Amino acid sequence: MKAVKRILSTALSAVLSINLTAVAVPAISVSAQEQEEQTLIEVLKNGISNFETVIDIKQFDYRMGDISLITEAVNKVIMDPELFYLRIVKDSTKCGGSYNDAGEVVLTSVKLQYENTPEDVAPLIEQFNSKVDEILGKTIKDDMTEVEKALKLHDYIVLNTKYDLSGEIEDYNDGISAYDILVMGNGVCQGYAQAYGYLLDRIGIESVMVTSEIMAHAWNLVKIDGEWYHVDVTWDDPVPDAVGRVNHSYFMLSDGAILCESDTRATAHHDWNSEGITAQNTKYDDAFWGKVGTEIFIDNGQWYFISDTGEYSTYVEGSGQVNTNVSLDEERWYVWNEPNQFWTGKYTSLIVSGGKVYYNTPTMIYSMNLDGSYKEGLKYVNPYETDGYMYGLVLENDKLYAVIKQAPTDEGKLVEVMDLHLENYSYIATMLKSIEDMNDGESTVFDMTEERVFPSQALELIKGRDIEVVLEVDTYSWAINGQSVGSSATRDINLEINKNQGEVPEDMLTDIAQGKDTVELDLEHNGEFGFVADISYNIGSEFSERPATLYYYNEAENKMDKVQEVVINNEGAVTISLNHASSYVVVMDNVSVPPSDAYKDPQTTTDSMQQLPQPETAIGDVSGDGEIDLTDLTKISLHLLNDAKIADELIKYADVTFDGIVDLCDLATMKQYIIKDITSFTK
């Protein structure tokens, strides 16, 4: 009830008081009365704007029966957006009068008392006018149509204003003035309507403020191309405030449409006072923008926007045709700290600047041409550094800000991510050119620490070729050979891998660890790669030279699947071959593998120089010297590292676990035997 109550209280405080009995006067025609009222309003506005305490109205020859006309005119002046600075002493507004020769009371003046002075308000007026000029300068172009101008001002107010739900946000005039909305950035419905109406008036578009006492609400009727339409800027502003989001459900509606609920309008309007104006034209009642929840950009008669299904689309206002250029619906917005759940909505917004389109996914900023061609990944925004995903973009002074949230209903915060004017984001283009120039058999390293997304264009360039790209990101790298890239590799690849994020259920982790050290590796990418990547991740030098087992978190079947056995190198890095993203767990054995160059004797690595072991000491004695010792452990280690080969006729003696294969389990069992943790090999 906040807004309309204030409208009414303003009216009541301006009621004229005079202790004389009203005298009936003849009625005048409606047109003449309207003309006279407008003249009275101009006289009153001129006097009030100059802080006059007594305003002469003798020219109108009003009688006591005309007090209501004067009261209504005073109220209209007080609600004029330009006079936002007024501070009139409560119940001070009165009417002065005198008797004429016929003994009638003639109302001769309006008397007011002000709480502030011209000196007090001068800086506020200057600030307000400067802000209005700035807004119109950045949003309105001469070649825009009336509906385009109305749209851009609608979007500006929503994107830059927070609805004052609590009434506790700092303001100047309780949130009901254009100054509160445009300068202070918050307010209530009357303020929204005042601000929108004033901006429209400045560019020559006629509008009136509509009020509904029953709804305790105010909005606008706007005259576009000779027809009236309802525009409720307040109800198109998400509550609670959602930075970067702007709805269009209540933009350009007829009386019939705004009276009804729909799939985009949960609440209907009713019982309004529009000063006799009706909105009968239904041209825009079912316009596409009713389902658009982000800013709509306009350039040379072309509208650019993202649909509610995540598709980049254009609209030509002249033809009324909507075209879908390209689908951007590639990633899901996962529930924060709940990796198995995701939101069904699409929270991509776009920015059009310098002939380019910029848009966001949860973690990545892209650019493309206006026609949707040449999509390029520009910058990765790490959600663990910003403490949330990207739910939109905002452009201010050539700087691009990400709207960071943990849930769609959060208000969000702005994080600066790019300066479109100063920075040159050409790294991806340079990388693509380098890949294009690579020769067969060549391997090239690219630093992806900043970008962290390998674009689909790069995959197309390496597909089927005998070349390798190594993508380095902080403590890990991806190695991709073009011959492993299949036809399904059509998406950008998010290279981000985070360590120990807790995605794997604790009970499963405990079950596979069995008391051993573990490291969880969580890939940010979603789904299949379309190729095989050799990922080398430095999990810590404290784990160097240990055998380890890699497990895959199979969410679909709620279990951990064993993938492969590996050996951590002497720098603490583990290399694993993967073809799809998920969470993985590396389980380190509690014993170390001897360094790969220790005990290494090139003279004993050929089959011809290896002696067959004696039958009674065959199991474990792969050196054939009749002893089971460190030499045998080293030979198995070198065999697993592909640094030396055990002869085919001896390999069966390395299978000390009797499971038919030689792997890290045999290496670990051999070490236990040598250090006398076990006394024999048993099946």
Model confidence at 299: pLDDT above 70 = yes
pLDDT tens-digit readout, 402-416 = 999 999 988 889 999
Residue type for position 543: F
Strands of the sheet with 217-224, listed across from one edge:
207-212, 217-224, 227-231, 251-253
Pick the residue with more confidence: 586 or 322?
586
pLDDT tens-digit readout, 356-400 = 899 998 988 888 888 888 787 778 888 888 999 999 898 888 889
HEC sequence for 411-447: CCEEEEEEECCCCCCCHHHHHHHHHHCCCCCCEEEEE
Q: At what angle do helices 67-78 and 2-13 cross, to 10 degrees?
A: 130
CB count in 10 Å sphere of residue 165: 13
pLDDT of residue 389: 94
Place 27 in a pLDDT band, splitting at 50, 70 and 90.
Answer: very low
Q: What percent of the chain has pLDDT over 90?
A: 36
Model confidence at 38: pLDDT above 90 = no
CB count in 10 Å sphere of residue 385: 9
pLDDT of residue 643: 64
pTM of the model: 0.62
pLDDT of residue 43: 92
Place 682 in a pLDDT band, splitting at 50, 70 and 90.
Answer: confident
d(CA 565, CA 561): 12
pLDDT tens-digit readout, 488-528 = 777 788 899 999 988 899 999 999 998 899 999 999 887 88
pLDDT tens-digit readout, 321-337 = 888 777 776 678 989 98
Considering the chain, what is the average pLDDT of its residues?
A: 83
pLDDT tens-digit readout, 626-671 = 778 777 787 887 787 776 677 766 787 888 888 888 888 888 888 8
CB count in 10 Å sphere of residue 230: 22
pLDDT of residue 329: 61
pLDDT of residue 411: 83
pLDDT of residue 212: 93
d(CA 393, CA 519): 35
pLDDT of residue 91: 82
Q: What is the mean pLDDT of residues 589-595?
A: 61
Q: Which residues pair with 376 in a beta bridge?
A: 367
pLDDT of residue 609: 32
Choose among 504, 586, 579: nearest CA to 540.
Answer: 586
Backbone φ, ψ for residue 514 (5° rounding): 50, 40
pLDDT of residue 287: 92
CB count in 10 Å sphere of residue 402: 27
Q: What is the mean pLDDT of residues 166-180?
A: 82
d(CA 461, CA 446): 15
Most confident option among 124-128, 411-415, 567-571: 124-128
Q: Check: CB of residue 583 under 8 Å from CB of residue 522.
A: yes
CATH T-level fold of 120-293: C8orf32 fold (3.10.620)
Q: Domain 426-590 maps to which CATH number in 2.60.220, 1.10.238, 1.10.260, 3.10.110? A: 2.60.220
Q: What is the mean pLDDT of residues 433-440?
A: 89
pLDDT of residue 378: 79
Q: Which two tokens stand for residue 276?
A: 């006799």
Q: Where are the beta strands (DSSP E) in 190-235?
A: 207-212, 217-224, 227-231
d(CA 601, CA 150): 83
Q: What is the dihedral of CA 26, 28, 34, 37, to 10 degrees?
A: -30
pLDDT of residue 422: 56
- Radius of gyration, CA atoms only, the chain: 38
Burial class (CB in 10 A: 0-12, 13-18, 19+), 333: buried
Those residues with Cβ within 8 angstroms of residue 297's Cβ, 6 or more apart along the chain or in another chain = 303, 304, 305, 350, 351, 352
Superfamily grouping for domain 602-674: Dockerin domain (1.10.1330.10)
Residue type for position 588: M
pLDDT of residue 623: 73
pLDDT of residue 617: 45
Choose among 292, 187, 163: nearest CA to 238.
Answer: 163
Lowest mean pLDDT among 53-57, 142-146, 606-610: 606-610
Place 29 in a pLDDT band, splitting at 50, 70 and 90.
Answer: very low
Model confidence at 217: pLDDT above 60 = yes
pLDDT of residue 649: 66
d(CA 183, CA 160): 10
Residue found under tokens 């959602």: 242
Q: What is the mean pLDDT of residues 99-125?
A: 89
Q: At what angle do helices 189-202 and 118-139 cross, to 10 degrees?
A: 70
Q: What is the mean pLDDT of residues 242-264?
A: 90
Place 537 in a pLDDT band, splitting at 50, 70 and 90.
Answer: very high
pLDDT of residue 11: 34
What's the DSSP call for residue 298?
Answer: E
341-350 per-residue burial string, b: 16 or more CB within 10 A, e: under 16: eebeebbbbb
Those residues with Cβ within 8 angstroms of residue 404's Cβ, 6 or more apart along the chain or in another chain = 386, 387, 388, 389, 390, 391, 412, 413, 414, 415
pLDDT of residue 591: 64
Lowest mean pLDDT among 92-101, 198-207, 274-283: 92-101
Backbone φ, ψ for residue 278 (5° rounding): -120, 150
